[in-house]
Structure 1
Amino acid sequence: MAKYVVVDLETTGHSPKKGDKIIEVGMVTVEDGKVVDQYKSFVNPEQPIPSFITQLTGIRDEDVLDAPLFDEIVDDILLRCQGAYFVAHHVEFDLGFLNHALIDAVGHGLSVPVMDTVELARIFIPQADGYKLSQLSEFLQVNHGEPHRALADAYVTSQILIQLLHKAEQLPYETLEQLAKLERKWKSDMSEVLNQLLHCKTFEKDERDDLELFRGIAIKKSSTKEEEQPSVETEGFEPFLDHVFHKDGWLEGTLHNFEERDGQREMAITIYDAFQSKSKAMIEAETGTGKTLAYLVPAIYEAVEQQSRIMISTHTTQLQAQLLEKDIPMLENSIPFPFQSALLKGKQHYLSLKKFEYELHSSVANNYDVILTKSMILVWLTETTTGDIDDIQLPSSGAIFWRKVSAEAEGYLDPRSPWYSRSFYQRAKKKAQQAHLVITNHSLLCTDIIHDYGLVSSYPKVIIDEAHHFEAAAGKHFGLKLDYISIQYLLNEMGGNKAGDWMHNLLSAYPELALKQQMEMWEVTTQSIKEEADELFRYLFTYVSKQREANISLNDVGRFQYRYHPDKESSKVWSTVREMAHRVSFIIRDTITFLIKCSHWIQAAETSEEASRWREDIKMYVERLELTIDALDQLLLSDESQLVKWIEIEAYGAKNSVYIYSEPIEVGSLLKEYFFDKKDSVILTSATLTMKQSFSFMMKRLGLDKDKTIQKQIPSPFQYKDQVQLLVPNDFPGMKYGSQDEFIYATCEAIYSLASISKGRMLVLFTSYEMLKKAHGIMKELMDVEEFMLIAQGISSGSRSRLKKNFQAFDQAILFGTSSFWEGVDIPGDDLTSLVIVRLPFQPPNHPVYEAKAESIKDQGKNPFMELSLPNAVIRFKQGFGRLIRSTTDKGIVMVCDDRIMKAKYGKYFTQSIPEIDIHYDSTHQLMKKAERWL
């Protein structure tokens, strides 16, 4: 029977080599799935405890003053570790620190088998939200009373360990057998445990009936039965709406805080009318309308009544998750007839079992991250019915491995293949074809429009939420991107004559193909592509660097974007570029010819499943090589005037780290031809689609016919006049280009004053990261250390949602954000009472796509500022403004530091595009007095 001693240490810092010491030890012994012993002791470190450690742990100098020295408790520690597995959360830290102290005290460290609960949790609970101790304890419902105290952390870790070992016991023999082969490269010494489990499973009769065994891999069974499509008989749509949205209706029984909203009902009726009249509709639904339910309810009614399918496309995964995890389940519980919904993502999101089986048995030597990823996927396959990468958190290099095993890497899958019925992607497609509502994203929608894969064409009605992003998403997908790293990655993936390489394995499977001269030719050809492509991208880097030096004032930091026109560049330079691109293209054609010959030879030689797999692989690689040739042709060889083309380099990056892009200057006509004209009905909705109450800008950009499109603005139910005040200082220094410092300093002083009044609870939105960074530095100087918690995007670590959670966790916090923080960040209630917009959010005028669109507008005799720059800035401003008031009870201040909103002629476009509120244009001192009275 195994014994586990779970250890957690609190220390004065992270590095024992630099003199950091242990201040507390916690040890929990586990035997037979139960805690049998607990031990804790403070340790006198004979040095002061740093203040941040005291803040984190609550352990003060006086707590350890009379505590034993480490030498005095060493016997207790060694006794407990004897004959036991040493277990810790991040075992390298705790064992390394303890061994350092033991060597000092007794001359030797511990030599025991170890287990790391971070690693084991990744493997045995691959679907956890995260692997920090706090995240795991929440996920596994283990009460964590005193975080960052040694015994409490050790006890929580012991409970996690018990659950992990229990989870391992539940795994089928086949999964355990595969894990045992990978275990040698784990950090945790699990071989004895796995062998013991395998030994027990050998004599077990009961197999799990929720699993299917296929070619040595255990897979969760999927329910593939087709559900009968219900038919619905109602009195009509409006009476149905009354049942849903009425004060005593179906929703009130499900939602505790249900509010009847006139705007919600009005929007739902508008959408239903658009469906009936087969029209396009553009609907701006201001914050608080309840727009998601307002489009879901008519979509469900229409789909069930007409026995049809409706596609809903969102820009962010956050909104997708909200639809699938919150809004749709709520309606399933409220509406008294059944309907089906499905999520559909791009092929790159789904695991290919066929490719995974191949990689699992591949003889290639794998690094730790790949071994960990394979282990995680093996366990995940016993749990997932979707095979969606977004359900698990792979380690960093795991993302590269995923590219090899995704459904996208699989290429075409023959319906006769035994893998076809088990394909996660095919399963998702089938579910989508049977569902009433299909949730997807703008990226997949645009990919399908362009490549005509037939997904979108089977949905005659589409709802596009977050529609203000649709033009940009379409532009990216109608364009192209090419870089050296992608070419090199593709060639490396195919490999050469090295054991474990794809090409080596192909030629080993068919020795008749592997004529020495052919293999040598393959090696020489692929090496030539790498060298020629490297030379091409280095040449472009040098050329663009010279352009950067000529424009250094415009682009002195980060990525430099150079818009090029092949017909206007130096003829000497561009003829060299064309010659190089032709050479790369020509050699790639040689590799394609060689691959096609291989495919034909295999087809003639045999018709086995193995032969079919090789031919599918070859087809996929040929297609990817052809796409590279097409990209080279469009980006560097053709003179397509309707495209904007640009090259990006990192000024101090690798000399071949060059990215070439193209996008159509105008996507409206393309969307009209390939999307809008092919649909019965398209509903575009967002909280920000108008400028000065007009949809004309957005209609023009998307290619919609004004006379044939229903246009509707749904006002917010919020009483903005009573809920928000807009402050604009009139005494800030002028902001001339290149002399920002005085303006930023004045902004920081105002932020600090307002934060003192609002007790933090402030979001500050910047238009550039550079300005955010400077302001962060100044704020640090202005504030006392513990006065406000300052959280800044790109400076404080963590994702957007993590930064938001940290902000909400502190009583007095200020959150600095740029780019993604202007929208989609919801901080309702008292957590946010003031919003600062530092500058009006105009796009940089030198971005290649903006520049090209502006030129095109100018050529039409129109004003690019009024037609493009201003509308984009107004819509962005409305997004930022919408961060503050998220419910009927919210109240707060918006301060705009940019007085162009009051002084410039175009300022009224901003103020007349937001709800009617009181605007105060005054000195900073007077504004602060007003803010204090208001709050």
Structure 2
Amino acid sequence: MEKYVVIDLETTGHSPTKDDKIIEVGIVVIENNEITETKSTFFNPKQSIPPFITKLTGITDEDVKDAPLFHEEADKIIEIFKDSYLIAHNVPFDLGFLNSELELNGKGKLTNPVIDTVELSRILYPKSTSYKLNQLAEYLNIQHDVPHRALSDAYVTAKLFLKLKEKLDTLPYETIHSLLQLSSMFKSDLYALLNERQEKLAFSTTDRDDIETFQGLAFKQLKEEDKSTSAFTTSYGDFLDDIYEENGKLSKRMKRYEKRQGQRDMSEVIFDAFQTKKHAIIEAETGTGKSLGYLIPAIYESVKMKQRIVISTYTTQLQSQLIEQEIPLIEALIPNTFKAALIKGKHHYISLEKFAHEMHSNVNDNYDITLTKAMILIWLTETETGDIDEINLPSSGYLFYRKISTEAEGGLDPYSPWFNKSYYQKAKKKAMHADIIITNHALLAMDMFNDYQFLPTYKKVIIDEAHHFEDTAAHHYGLDVDYVNMQYVLNQIGHWEETKSLGKLLSRYTDYQDELPLKKWDEVLDHTKYEIDVLFGAIYHYVLDSYKTSMATSDVGRVQYRFEEEKEDENRWNAIKEMVTRLTFYLRDLIHILAATEQTLYKKDALDKYDKDDLNGMVDVLQGFIDRFEQLFLLESSVPQVRWVEIDTKGPKNAVFLYCEPTDISSLLMNDFFDKKESVILTSATLTMNDSFSYIEDRLGLPSDRLETERIASPFSYKDQVQLFIPTDFPDIKYGKMDDFIYATCEAILSLAEITNGRMLVLFTSYDMLKKSYFLLKEMMDLDSYVLIGQGITSGSRTKLKKNFQTFDQAILLGTSSFWEGVDIPGDDLSCLMIVRLPFQPPNHPVYEAKSNQLKEIGKNAFMEYALPNAVIKFKQGFGRLIRSTNDRGIVFICDARIMKARYGKYFIKSIPEVPITYDTISKLMEKAEEWF
């Protein structure tokens, strides 16, 4: 069957069961890999088209009033699909509507084989960040002129399908063979397509020479880097002139190049710190170009002195940006060669050995795991790193990935045939020979504090996004455990007769089951799960009984309760500790049974290597739970720590989250890091408060005798690009007018949105306030006017919410903590930033409370030395969301009266670049906003 019919529908709504109707059909016919026919028809739905649909599609009631009814064209549609595949971008939607209409009109359902281009795109383009039709078209350079019109969408879907078919024809035999084995679980009927490709390859003498195959897997051949480092012969000053000056290398590589003196200043400060073996803190404001500013001196110093330099970022996204964009740019700028390598934690890298084992295991996988396996099969033919961050897995695919990450394989035998094929080992080897190693704060902290060395030895390091360094180091020293995760882990291990992890493993050893302690396992597992229920339920009720409306809440609205043993109800707390002790006994029993099982099978010489790894993995997870509970409840800590509980008062009665974190990590950082390194450079756009670095110096334990500091101003003309508005008649929240404040905030959002056509980012400090504002806005606004996106309410990650915001012309995005930084929305997509409240941590937040108490004990002012600097730095991060380039312009609107009324308000104003500030009534500010735009 070589005929493919692509269909796309426009409808009055999302569901035929709710009487929504088809208003337009677009059809494209493909025969012999060419488009041979197109057809487009309006249909009269015999109901009004909702304004939202008209806005989306451009189709009006006038367009369809003289159009045919569906039954008048039904036979023609059925005839087109005769002897063909039905193709759509999201088949269930289009076929669901089509078959509903056919049935209503007395026709039989279409039963054609189907191909869903969403599913096939996910499989064949696993690196795509989105599988929406318009974003896939952009990703694959397919022109899409009229999105949300049936014929245009059908035509683009046809073009997409042809590209997918082309890609399918490039895949090696082993990959196609594996996909065929998975194909019965796909929603699309791909067997014939895959089988045709396999038959061609079976009789072909040639295949791809860039692919290596081993034990049924096909993966991209990785060539050893043959690049040697070449020394610099020019002085550092001449080297910088050659790059940064008006007629330098940068000006020839970049259009509309403007020399940024701050970028060169940064490069000079860093080089001087390297020469004098000092540490440096550099605040480089937005637009400085700090990535190049620190890479240039790092590369020169590393190659000149033959010493590797480590560069650490907070996010893995910035890591990737440095290695994929900035490093290639510098390679093009300078004649000298150098080696750069990126390395992440073991869990980021796939284990080919573990994946091959999973592919060969005959297990009944669900759809998401099957899709994950298919995506990975394609990705392996493309990836040079094996870094799972490269692909866009389905949500539960990450649970499967845990089983096949390098972290899950234990210690890989250097003599194993898989050792030289390990992506993680290759990344480590590349890092060992690199001049520049790019890593992240989490791995840097692990390397810093653990006995095991994760990074090659280094003496100089540059830490970007340095305002996160303390928190990352503290998190490494901290821990967390929660009810849902514990029960999930135990359920995944399962009873021995279930088809879960342990049951599947033991099913391969039926000859020895009489000698294994299996009945005892089930009994102890059930007791363990019962004890978890009892313990977490007791903690939940303990917190609930202590609940006060003044207690802190987390970003997602969970109640937070800090526990200190000496202050707790002695009888109830001792009862909880007894429950913890009992639970750890049961967990140890489970470990002993797993160890006995492994020992018995080992003595019989029957234990498979992969099964041994899996048993050890189960033991490690259970031991991890024991260690966490003991540290939380039973052991004294060597460093001051804060412990707290979070519960959802409206959730299940045992949905409890437990946390522990050191309150001061400065001495650890000084002794284990700063004192041991020749030079540590810390940089970020936000490190000062009141023109001083003292806050960051104290928090990180930086030795003042070896420290240089530098502030580099932004090259942006903030005076011309930003207006700061502060209303003088906003309700004051401190007098208990919370509802009035939220109502005024929502009114201001809608008034500004009318002026800016949406394009607003609204930053909250409280999830509860965000949620109340979201639902109030829904009541107040014309639903067809703006797309309202609320973090934690609208589904999706931060990246997805940001993309949705940019996709719609008139959108309002409400965000909390994670949106205050690291979100770049350049250009016209963002014209207005609203800061609802100054970003102070609640005074009763467990970590804040513990750190404040610690400062008070040594006679310091906790507000001025911790709370205020922390809030000011976060405020600066939030302010920085608006202006990301020299062409951006917009308004910052601050609802919080404290910025003008409180004595400390001046510190927030002083922390941002000098901009025009208007203090006036809301109505006057709106008039000025209209003039500004």
Shorter-chain TM band = over 0.9
Contact 1:229–1:307, Cα closer than 8 Å, also in 2: no
Letter matched to residue 817 of structure 1 = G
Percent identity, aligned pairs only? 54
Q: Give the match for residue 518 of structure 1.
A: 517
Change (3 A) 1:816 1:505: closer
Letter matched to residue 729 of structure 1 = P
Change (3 A) 1:102 1:541: same
Q: Give the match for residue 460 of structure 1.
A: 459
Letter matched to residue 80 of structure 1 = I
**Secondary structure of the equivalent of 2:911?**
coil
Q: Give the match for residue 614 of structure 1.
A: 611
Q: Using the alignment, how far apart are the partners of 1:406 and 1:819 within structure 2?
A: 30
Change (3 A) 1:73 1:724: closer
Letter matched to residue 633 of structure 1 = E
Q: Using the alignment, how far apart are the partners of 2:757 and 2:74 within structure 1?
A: 48
Equivalent of residue 849 in structure 1, options 832, 847, 850 = 847
Change (3 A) 1:812 1:221: closer
Structure 1 position 454, deviation (Å): 1.0
Structure 1 position 199, deviation (Å): 2.3
Letter matched to residue 157 of structure 2 = T
**Secondary structure of the equivalent of 2:675?**
helix
Comparing 21-30 and 827-836, the one that deviates more: 827-836
Q: Does 1:626 align with 2:626?
A: no
Equivalent of residue 701 in structure 2, options 686, 703, 709 = 703
Q: Does 1:666 align with 2:664?
A: yes
Q: Using the alignment, how far apart are the partners of 1:364 and 1:265 within structure 2?
A: 59
Equivalent of residue 822 in structure 1, options 812, 820, 823 = 820
Deviations 1:840-872 (A, max 9, x none): 111111111111001111111222111111111
Letter matched to residue 859 of structure 2 = G
Change (3 A) 1:676 1:78: same
Q: Unaligned 5+ residue runs, structure 2?
A: none
Change (3 A) 1:719 1:104: closer
Q: Does 1:868 align with 2:866?
A: yes
Change (3 A) 1:814 1:186: closer
Structure 1 position 908, deviation (Å): 2.2
Q: Does 1:636 align with 2:633?
A: yes
Contact 1:854–1:864, Cα closer than 8 Å, also in 2: yes
Q: Using the alignment, how far apart are the partners of 1:870 and 1:429 within structure 2?
A: 42
Equivalent of residue 884 in structure 1, options 878, 882, 885 = 882
Q: Using the alignment, how far apart are the partners of 2:549 and 2:779 within structure 1?
A: 33
Contact 1:764–1:817, Cα closer than 8 Å, also in 2: yes
Deviations 1:308-345 (A, max 9, x none): 22222212234233323322222121122222222222
Q: Give the match for residue 743 of structure 1.
A: 741
Contact 2:460–2:678, Cα closer than 8 Å, also in 1: yes
Change (3 A) 1:2 1:923: closer
Change (3 A) 1:565 1:356: same
Letter matched to residue 661 of structure 1 = Y
Correspondences of 1:11-410 after superposition (within 5 Å): 11-223=11-223, 225-410=224-409
Q: Using the alignment, how far apart are the partners of 1:99 and 1:154 within structure 2?
A: 18
**Secondary structure of the equivalent of 2:288?**
coil
Deviations 1:628-666 (A, max 9, x none): 211111011124371100111111222232111100011
Equivalent of residue 859 in structure 1, options 857, 860, 864 = 857
Comparing 802-811 and 282-291, the one that deviates more: 802-811
Q: Using the alignment, how far apart are the partners of 1:163 and 1:340 within structure 2?
A: 36
**Secondary structure of the equivalent of 1:905?**
coil
Structure 1 position 186, deviation (Å): 1.1
Letter matched to residue 614 of structure 2 = D
Q: Using the alignment, how far apart are the partners of 1:626 and 1:210 within structure 2?
A: 43
Comparing 152-161 and 589-598, the one that deviates more: 589-598
**Secondary structure of the equivalent of 2:37?**
strand
Contact 2:227–2:338, Cα closer than 8 Å, also in 1: no
Q: Does 1:682 align with 2:673?
A: no
Change (3 A) 1:591 1:928: closer
Structure 1 position 838, deviation (Å): 2.2
Q: Using the alignment, how far apart are the partners of 2:504 and 2:829 within structure 1?
A: 59
Change (3 A) 1:77 1:797: same
Deviations 1:660-717 (A, max 9, x none): 1100011111222222222222111011111111111111011111222111111223
Structure 1 position 887, deviation (Å): 3.5
Q: Using the alignment, how far apart are the partners of 2:703 and 2:721 within structure 1?
A: 37
Q: Using the alignment, how far apart are the partners of 1:759 and 1:626 within structure 2?
A: 55
Contact 1:412–1:620, Cα closer than 8 Å, also in 2: no
Q: Using the alignment, how far apart are the partners of 2:471 and 2:62 within structure 1?
A: 60
Deviations 1:154-174 (A, max 9, x none): 121112222222222222222
Comparing 641-650 and 729-738, the one that deviates more: 729-738
Structure 1 position 621, deviation (Å): 2.9
Correspondences of 1:435-834 after superposition (within 5 Å): 435-456=434-455, 458-498=457-497, 500-510=499-509, 513-516=512-515, 518-548=517-547, 550-551=548-549, 558-606=557-605, 611-640=608-637, 642-736=640-734, 738-755=736-753, 760-777=758-775, 779=777, 790-796=788-794, 798-805=796-803, 807-808=805-806, 814-834=812-832
Q: Using the alignment, how far apart are the partners of 2:622 and 2:751 within structure 1?
A: 59
Between Structure 1 and Structure 2, how many residues are aligned? 931
Contact 2:482–2:658, Cα closer than 8 Å, also in 1: yes
Q: Using the alignment, how far apart are the partners of 1:199 and 1:812 within structure 2?
A: 51
- Aligned alpha-carbon RMSD (Å): 2.6
Structure 1 position 930, deviation (Å): 5.3
Contact 1:251–1:331, Cα closer than 8 Å, also in 2: no
Letter matched to residue 884 of structure 1 = L
Structure 1 position 598, deviation (Å): 4.0
Structure 1 position 500, deviation (Å): 4.5
Letter matched to residue 38 of structure 1 = T
Deviations 1:3-51 (A, max 9, x none): 2111111222222222222112222222221122222221222222222
Structure 1 position 220, deviation (Å): 1.6
Q: Using the alignment, how far apart are the partners of 1:62 and 1:927 within structure 2?
A: 41
Change (3 A) 1:83 1:756: closer
Structure 1 runs (4+) greater than 6 angstroms displaced: none
Q: Using the alignment, how far apart are the partners of 2:264 and 2:390 within structure 1?
A: 35
Letter matched to residue 48 of structure 1 = S
Deviations 1:344-369 (A, max 9, x none): 22222221122212222323321111
Letter matched to residue 215 of structure 1 = Q
Q: Using the alignment, how far apart are the partners of 2:795 and 2:653 within structure 1?
A: 29
Q: Using the alignment, how far apart are the partners of 1:798 and 1:662 within structure 2?
A: 28
Contact 2:827–2:887, Cα closer than 8 Å, also in 1: yes
Q: Using the alignment, how far apart are the partners of 1:505 and 1:744 within structure 2?
A: 54
Q: Using the alignment, how far apart are the partners of 1:791 and 1:494 within structure 2?
A: 38
Contact 2:51–2:784, Cα closer than 8 Å, also in 1: no
Contact 1:839–1:898, Cα closer than 8 Å, also in 2: yes
Structure 1 position 722, deviation (Å): 4.5
Contact 2:227–2:339, Cα closer than 8 Å, also in 1: no
Change (3 A) 1:467 1:554: closer
TM-score calculated relative to the size of structure 1: 0.94
Q: Unaligned 5+ residue runs, structure 1?
A: none
Contact 2:8–2:94, Cα closer than 8 Å, also in 1: yes
Q: Using the alignment, how far apart are the partners of 1:888 and 1:517 within structure 2?
A: 70
Comparing 422-431 and 720-729, the one that deviates more: 720-729
Change (3 A) 1:164 1:567: same
